[in-house]
Structure formats: structure tokens, C-alpha cells
Structure 1
Amino acid sequence: MSGIFGALPPQGEDQIIRLMGQFRADPRPDKVDLGVGVYRNAQGVTPVMRAVQTAEQQLLQSQNTKAYTALAGEQAFRDAMADLVLGPAQDPARLASVATVGGTGAVFMALRLVTMARPDAQVWVSDPTWPNHIPITQHVGLGLKTYRYFDAESRAIDAAAMLADLSQVRPGDVVLLHGCCHNPTGANPQPSDWQALATLLATKGAVPLIDIAYQGFGDGLEADAAATRLIAQTCEEVLIAASCSKNFGVYRERAGVLMVMTPPQLRDTLQGTLTALNRLNYSFPPDHGARLVSMVLTDPALRADWQAELEDMRTGMLHLRETLARELRRLTGSDRFGFLAQHRGMFSRLGATPEQVEKLRADHGIYMVGDSRMNIAGLTKANVSQVAQAIAACNI
């Protein structure tokens, strides 16, 4: 075949995109989508949050230009996100940051930064992890290792195994951590586990890369940031990729930020490097979503309304978790699904085989990812009993 593109290998189909297509084509009126990883309310809608909508109306009235902003993104957005994520752990003398194209862009930029600074670094990711972590690591050309994380029997993390594996990291290796609400399992370390992990990484001279995409969806805004803040105060160098997609509901606006904690004498070099990376990748980062986020976070009334709605979303998901666990206990006479009430965030891994996942889809119209990751936000008060009955009927 002639031409430069003839040698390109075909790319595998994304399983979640394929699942979305199957769901849309399914004519059953009672089908349930627990696969796609977006928040949905009781009406099955991913809403525009009240405070975001108000901020957008204010912006429409006041904005008089669409000219470029800053290569690193607006300082107000970066400062507001540093305050939200790091709180009292932030140290301006150590902090460099850039606005990015969503949380995914922040992860990509963090790993590109690592390739510039330490191309022989190994990136350690949890087993399992968010499906995009591994391809991005491989795409930028860094080595990859996994560490044990999730115990399939207890549906909780195996902290001892995690720490044992990470005791093998080398100085300068990158350890990718989920700041809260682990995706895909929903299982999270206890505070004592986080403390042991922070101490281990600092002692080893490893660099934590914290992907925090669900702050406010687990135990609350402050509690969900506690592990990130602990590590930022414990380790000399820390990478933090934060997303605004979920907790502000601005998925399509692609608002994210990469923050780097570094020794003060390196801060200016890091800031210049991050800004240069933005310039190389897309020049100026998207501004609309970032500006809405900074408006919400810096206006007391908007922030209060946003936090109230976010808390309603969080407690609603917790209630759905508890309801599903309780209904499964009633139907199966077993407590083996009690982990659903203990997990946090949008996801839990149910523990079904691929064959059982397919049976749920084919026989009951219940859609979830093949590894049995289910999106709790796809449940509603109206369908939770139906889902529980389907899970029990499939003998999971």
C-alpha cells in the first residue's frame, strides 16, 4: 500500500463507546445504563449545575471579547483550583500550574513533563486503574509497572500488597494515585494507609502523580482532598492532575489543571516549562469552562449554591449505594454486596464475570462495562430494585 498512512495499525474500539452504541440501539423501554462514566440525576440527565448556569448568564452579559487569555491559563482559575484542592497545604513558593484540556489533558501534560525530566522513569499504576492511564503512559514512551491494589474477594483495597509492591520503586519513578473515589473500583485507602503511602514515597524519592477527578463525590470536598494535601506536604515533588468535569458538571468544556509542587528554587523553571508545554500542545488552553469555575469558586453566593448542589449529588449517590446493597441483601440472603455501601464515588466493581455482565445486558437490559464496573449515578429510585433483581437472577 502506498502513502505514509498505509502502515498505520487499526485502533481497537473503545469498549465504553461500543457499549453506548448498543444501549442506544436497544429498544427495551426499561433498559438501564450503568456503563458510561458521567453523573446523571433521577431523570437520567447530566444537569448544568445551578451556580454554573448563573455564572454563565453573568459571563454572557459581561464578557466583551473572545481574545486569547494566557498561555498557562487565567491566574484566577489556577489560584481557585489550588485553593480548592490543596487548601492549607498549598505553598506558592513551591507551586507551578497550568490550565489544561480537562483532567485527561492534565495527566497527559504531567507525563510529558516526566519524559522531559526523567525519560527512564517507570510509571506505577494501580491494578486496576482508569483505562486511559496505561495508554497515555505508553504513548509518551515511559515504562510501566503495576502495583496490587484491589482484593477481588473482599472488594476492598489490599493495603499491605500495595505497600509491598511500591517498596520496589526507584528514586524518580512516578506513582500514579487516585486522590479519591477510585475508578473503576470505588475502593479507597484508609487514612492510615495514606499516611504509610506518603511516608514510603517520600523515603523512596518517588514522585506521586495524583489524579483527582471526583473531589466532592466521596466523603465531601475537604475529606476528599485530605490525601492529596497530606502527600503535598510530605513529598518534595508532587504532580496533581485535577478535573472540573464531574464536580462542576462542565464535561464538554474541558476544564482541568495541572499543579506541580517542587522545591522553591525550581519553581520558576517548572512554571516556564509547563507554559512551554501548553504552547507546544495547543497554545492557549480552553477558557470558557475554566472561567465559569473560577467565577463560582470566588463568588461567595455562587460557591455556597454550588457546594449545596454538589452535596445533594454526593448524598444521593450514597443513598443509592445503600439502597442497592440493602435490596441485594434481601434478595440473596447474603451480605456479600455490602461493599457497595462502603465504596465511594460514582463507581464500584461488582465482581461479575464477563459472561454474567453479558447476561445482564442480553436478558435484563442492564448495561455495564465488561469488567463489571457499574456507574452508581446510573441508578435511580425507580430502577434500583430492577437492577438488584437482575443481579440476583444472574447469580453474581
Structure 2
Amino acid sequence: MFANLKPQPADKILALVKAFREDPRAEKIDLGVGVYKNAEGTTPVMRAVKTAEKQLWEIESTKSYVGLAGDPAFSDVMIDLVLGDAVERSNVAAAATPGGTGACRQAFELMQMANPDARVFVSNPTWPNHTSILNYLGIEHVPYRYFDADTRGVDFDGMLEDLKGLKAGDLVLLHGCCHNPTGANLNLTQWQIVVDVLNEKGAIPMIDIAYQGFGDGLEEDAAAARLVASCVPECLIAASCSKNFGIYRERTGLLMAVSTETSRQGLNQDTLAFLNRQNFSFPPDHGARLVTMVLQDPDLRADWAKELEDVRLGMLGLREQLAGELKRLSGSDRFGFLAQHRGMFSRLGTTPEMVERLRAEHGIYMVGDSRMNIAGLNAQSVPILAQAIIDVGV
């Protein structure tokens, strides 16, 4: 059996992490790994999460299973966080998953179960694991234009042109905020146009929202998901708690199936539980329990929101500092897009050859497509990166 296994493609980001660790240069900068880091280069446990964890240690009396779909209280607080009052709670089925990745996987399998012939339209580019999972499941996926390499913004005309190829029942994967890997986002007017196209074509939106609170704020970052959910007959939403609660290793996510037909909620809920059972049986609970405790307690929630806002403003400050430094060095506004992007990532929009030069000549590590993690910077490393970008002629 084992002799028949074939080597799988190496994960480029993990390979980048290994190369960074082995680089002896003192001023090397890691902009590759997709994890939030503070100015000291660590991913801290948030204050409210730490407090909730202490409380949980005191009150938790069992480690028994919670349920196939996880704790309903976790679903409730997350649905409220993401959707607010955009839709009735009775129209939403939900199940806890191992992280946002698990939610995406379950969403694709749900679509495959409901309509084996459906295609998934994905932005070009998108988070690589989206297409990796789709390939593994044997689901046809179609790229739609998204990133404009000249403006480093959204190629909205190209996106609309490509969405004309949708057929009824196709799924359209959309990033709810803080697009990964580009950092370029649709505005609400553009979101409404996309919704109109989907309704006209009979296509189903799937929102992957992994960075709520990292862009323009908790409410602002949820606006697109709320608009979509309130304007279409049905949709899927995959939410992650890894970033905005800082609980990456706890693998905490939620898949929501939203339908205007309340009578379908029961079947949708049973189907989500069934899919969990086939994949991992019961979802992890520790992270979900912490999120629930934080969001249910007014004081913890306020402290969490304050710390999250500090994180958001810190990344925005780094963006503005980098754009300003590049403007000073280049004498032009051609890097102004960096201050306009939102979230952890920006796509610099240069060639793999330039990215390799940044690594070889300056110890700057970023993904080959020039995606860089803004949270990998601090006030001292921004000038170093800016000078490197100018030196190699990006």
C-alpha cells in the first residue's frame, strides 16, 4: 500500500518558513507566514481569551462530547457577530468546525452533496487552500478575474465579465473582507452589483470571512456578508476565529447555511451534523467555549473588541508608514495602494524574480506571488523593507 503513495507538492509557505529559520542574517524579515504578529514578533494570547481560559479552568466539570454540530451557544454568538440582525436566526443552520479551513471543506462537500454538477467560481488569486481542497474533492472550479496588476486594486469589470459565465446552481466563493492574498476589497456598491448578478444567474454565494475586525472594524467588516445574506435566497458562510481571537491552534470555526425558507433549516442543520460525523465526528470545543464566554460577557467582550481594534489600527499604521516611506524614496505615489489595502496581506504586484532578489539580496521573505504579511513588520523594519523594494527596482 505505502509503496503506491506519491509525493505531494510541497507547501510553499512552509518551505519559506524553513528557509527563513535557516537564514543567518540579523536583519532578515519574515513576511510569508499568514499569522498575526505584534511588534515583538510574537502572536500573543488576547487578554479576554486568557481571562476566559482561567474562568473555564475553574468551572469546567467534564471533557465529554458537546454534540455533532458543537455547542449551540457558540453558533448563536458567532451568527450574531457575523450576521447581526441581517437575517432571522431561524433561517440559519450552523455547525462548529476545526477552524475556517474545516468550514470551507464542509461547505464544498455540502455543495457537492446537493449538486454534484455545480462548479465553484474562485477569485484569481485566492487563498491557495481553497483550490487545493477543491482539487482534492474533484470539484470543478473556475477562476474569475479579481486583482488588477496595474492598479493593485480590484479588476471589477473583469470580475463581472467572468461572472457572466455562471450557471444556475454554481457556487461563487467570495472573501467577506481583507481579501487573501491581495488585501484589495470590493466596496458595498460593488458588492450589491455582484449580488444582483448572482440572483440573475441563480448562483449561490459562499462567503469566507476569516479576518473580521482586521480591516475597517468589526461591524464594517461584516457589512458585505450581511448584505449578501439578506439579499439572496440562500448562501453559505465560513467563519474563522483564528485571527480575531488569536486562537489559531484551537482550530475554531463555524459553517453557516442561510436560507430564506425557514422550513429548510431543520434539514440543513441535520445535513451539517451528518457531514461533521463523516469527517471528524465531534468538533473541537475548547476554542469555541472561549469565544462563547468572551462574547457573552459584556466586560470580556468590550476588552476583546478594544484589543482587536488596537491590532487593526497597528496594522493600518504600518501600512501608512510603508506607503509613506516608499513615496519618500521613490518620489511617486505608485505604492499608495498599500495604505488602501486592508487586513494582514497585500500583494506587492511584482514578479517572482523580484521576490527572489528581495530574499537573496536583502533577507526579505515573502510568497513568490509577492503576497506579504503586513503584520510581520514593525516600525523599525518598515524602512528596511522600503529601501529593499526600491533597491531591487520593484
TM-score w.r.t. the length of structure 1 is 0.98
Q: 1:181 — aligned with what?
A: 178
Partner Cα distance (2:138, 2:262) in 1 = 29
**AA matched with 1:197:** V
Of residues 257, 260, 268, the one that matches 2:254 is 257
Q: 1:272 — aligned with what?
A: 270
* Deviation sequence 1:166-187 (CA, Å, 0-9, x none): 1221111000000000000000
Partner Cα distance (1:286, 1:182) in 2 = 27
Q: Does 1:161 align with 2:158?
A: yes
Partner Cα distance (2:87, 2:3) in 1 = 50
- Map 1:172-251 to 2 at 5 A: 172-251=169-248
* Deviation sequence 1:48-87 (CA, Å, 0-9, x none): 0000000001001111111111110001100000000000
- Map 1:71-86 to 2 at 5 A: 71-86=68-83
- Map 1:61-140 to 2 at 5 A: 61-140=58-137
Of residues 53, 56, 60, the one that matches 1:59 is 56
Gaps of 5+ in 1: none
Q: How many residues align?
A: 393
Partner Cα distance (1:117, 1:311) in 2 = 39
- Secondary structure, in 3 states, of the residue corresponding to 1:150? coil
Alpha-carbon deviation of 1:92?
Answer: 2.1
Alpha-carbon deviation of 1:127?
Answer: 0.4
Q: 1:387 — aligned with what?
A: 385
* Deviation sequence 1:235-278 (CA, Å, 0-9, x none): 11100000000000000000000000122121111100100111
Alpha-carbon deviation of 1:99?
Answer: 0.1
- Secondary structure, in 3 states, of the residue corresponding to 2:316? helix
Partner Cα distance (2:229, 2:34) in 1 = 28
Alpha-carbon deviation of 1:30?
Answer: 1.2
Partner Cα distance (1:18, 1:296) in 2 = 36
Q: 2:26 — aligned with what?
A: 29
Q: Is the 8 A contact 1:327 1:385 kept in 2?
A: yes
Partner Cα distance (1:30, 1:136) in 2 = 36
Alpha-carbon deviation of 1:28?
Answer: 1.1
Q: Is the 8 A contact 1:115 1:141 kept in 2?
A: no
Q: 1:360 — aligned with what?
A: 358
Partner Cα distance (1:54, 1:22) in 2 = 36
Alpha-carbon deviation of 1:335?
Answer: 0.9
- Secondary structure, in 3 states, of the residue corresponding to 1:151? coil
- Secondary structure, in 3 states, of the residue corresponding to 1:99? strand
Q: Does 1:12 align with 2:4?
A: no
Partner Cα distance (1:160, 1:254) in 2 = 37
**AA matched with 2:95:** V
- Secondary structure, in 3 states, of the residue corresponding to 1:27? coil
Partner Cα distance (2:174, 2:387) in 1 = 35
Q: 1:325 — aligned with what?
A: 323
Of residues 295, 301, 305, the one that matches 2:299 is 301
Alpha-carbon deviation of 1:198?
Answer: 0.9
- Secondary structure, in 3 states, of the residue corresponding to 2:84? helix
* Deviation sequence 1:219-248 (CA, Å, 0-9, x none): 000010000000001111100000000000
Alpha-carbon deviation of 1:202?
Answer: 1.6
> Stretches of 4+ moved more than 3 A in 1?
none
TM-score w.r.t. the length of structure 2 is 0.99
- Secondary structure, in 3 states, of the residue corresponding to 2:161? helix
Q: Does 1:150 align with 2:147?
A: yes
Partner Cα distance (1:281, 1:184) in 2 = 28
- Secondary structure, in 3 states, of the residue corresponding to 1:19? helix
Partner Cα distance (1:126, 1:69) in 2 = 36
- Secondary structure, in 3 states, of the residue corresponding to 2:4? coil
Partner Cα distance (1:63, 1:265) in 2 = 36
Partner Cα distance (2:41, 2:311) in 1 = 13
Q: Is the 8 A contact 1:126 1:149 kept in 2?
A: yes
- Secondary structure, in 3 states, of the residue corresponding to 1:51? helix
Q: 2:47 — aligned with what?
A: 50
Partner Cα distance (1:26, 1:329) in 2 = 29
Mean Cα deviation higher: 99-108 or 350-359: 350-359
Alpha-carbon deviation of 1:5?
Answer: 3.1
- Secondary structure, in 3 states, of the residue corresponding to 2:190? helix
Partner Cα distance (2:271, 2:187) in 1 = 35
